Amino acid sequence: MKANDTATTVGKINPDVLTFTEGKDPVLDLALAEVDCIGTAAHVTMLSRMDYMPVLFTEEQRIAVLKGLKEIIAEARRGEFTITAADQDVHLAVERRLTERLGDLGKKVHTCRSRNDQVAVDIRLHVRNELNDLTTELAELARALIEFARRHADIPLVGRTHLQPAMPSSVGMWASAYGEMLLDDAYLLEAAAKTNNLCPLGSAAGYGVPLPINRQLTSDLLAFERPHHNVFYASCARGKDEAVLLSACSQIMLSLSRLAEDLILFSMPEFRYFTLPRELCTGSSIMPQKYNPDVLELIRAKAGLLVGYATSANVILKAMPGGYNRDLQDTKELYMEGLRVTRTSLRIMKLMADNLTVNPEACRAAFAEPGVFATDRALELVAGGMPFRDAYHQVRDHLEDLRGMDPDAVIAKKTHLGGTAGINYDGLLERADALAASAQAARQKVEDAVRELFAPAD
């Protein structure tokens, strides 16, 4: 059978063109099989409730479609759902499978929609699930870092600017800073989740349909916050959504990359502030003594990949005309890879945070060089009434007098908000827990909506 002989393939297409245009869709789209069925279930449910003659789907027909879709979902979960070259993508594959099961009824599911709004809704449903999981993973890593910070809150660490010793810091301050950074990165995820949580279904090819469809109902059935209003805008929003998501993910990866770099540096034998967990280090094929931080180096590299994916998505969008254009298909792999890489990185960094050890004596030994106390000493003189600039010069001219100052005493003095002795670890942990709880609530809402949608087919 020739590739373009099936019922669902439109027109006669040169096989090389077909291969080129389908790209990686037959593989990538497998991740969308379940959500494609969910989107179709909502669409058909909406069509069945339309006040329209002739009736598009009777209740009986709707239930038959729901049952067919449920079976396809089960097939996909078993890894048995396939997308053939003739299908091109998941949308035509699901329609073909439904038609094989239901005959003419399967041919009706594409009424009032296009693959353009179908793929857009699939991606949004997929991203929504992935974002909930990613947010949970981010909250778990933030929690692990903040707990690590609290466990080692009072161990002094040389604080650095320009990588040179600057002022006394603490392990607690260092680690919880990265925890807090991730919690703030979650604001970007929330923004990405918000623009993602809009329903494009019913925009069809991007210009709506001449039948009285109920786009609000479809959106409600899928537990979206609301439908996109203007249908042309709904079709323009594809790609932008993925670019926003990738930009949020690249910020997370940049946070992880800086954490990774600190860890590589501070676990070097020359520093030895931290010891990386042995089981997370890799050896050398020739040098028997080696335990290398490959994991952390790969995190740094993957931050670069994410910035690249985000840039690629933006560049694909730049000067692309309004409405659907096939360029958009190439944003699919970017967002899928971006999510996969970010999620894997969050999980591996949690393993690192859970198993990292601190060497307090090495941390304290780094304070032998007295310059690191200079600013604190100058401010002590200020507290005694000396103008700051005079104190600055006096300390600079007598740096040796600072030798032997006690870093523990110095870090205990910074009791102001966010200082070494003023970090609210419990407050940060509460933020991490609230974030995890919000992701769980969002996940539950989606699960409930999907269960309700398919309930008639039980």
Question: Which residues of the shown chain bind ligand ARG in the complex (CB under 6 A)?
Answer: 25, 89, 115-116, 119, 324, 326, 328-329, 332
Sign of CA dihedral 102, 28, 73, 76: positive
Nearer Cβ to ligand ARG, position 278 or 326? 326
Q: Measured from the CB of residue 118, what is the shortest distance to ligand ARG in angstroms?
A: 7
Nearer Cβ to ligand ARG, position 89 or 140? 89
**Cα separation of 424 and 153, whole Å?**
11
What's the length of the chain?
Answer: 458
Nearer Cβ to ligand ARG, position 10 or 319? 10
**Cα separation of 155 and 363, whole Å?**
7
DSSP collapsed to 3 states, 148-162: HHHHCCCCEEEEEEC
Nearer Cβ to ligand ARG, position 162 or 326? 326
Under 8 Å between Cβ of 155 and 172: yes
List 162, 229, 285, 416, catalytic entry: 162
Q: Measured from the CB of residue 290, what is the shortest distance to ligand ARG in angstroms?
A: 45
List 219, 228, 284, 312, catalytic entry: 284
Pairing of strands 198-199, 164-170: unpaired
Q: Is 162 a catalytic residue?
A: yes
How is residue 402 annotated by DSSP?
G
E strand or H helix that includes residue 357 = strand 357-358
Q: Measured from the CB of residue 316, what is the shortest distance to ligand ARG in angstroms?
A: 12
**Cα separation of 266 and 165, whole Å?**
13
Estimate to the nearest angstrom the gap between the alpha carbon of 223 and the chain centroid: 20
Nearer Cβ to ligand ARG, position 25 or 130? 25
**Cα separation of 137 and 349, whole Å?**
10
Q: Measured from the CB of residue 330, what is the shortest distance to ligand ARG in angstroms?
A: 8
Q: Measured from the CB of residue 350, what is the shortest distance to ligand ARG in angstroms?
A: 33
Under 8 Å between Cβ of 339 and 306: no
Catalytic residue numbers, as ranges: 162, 284
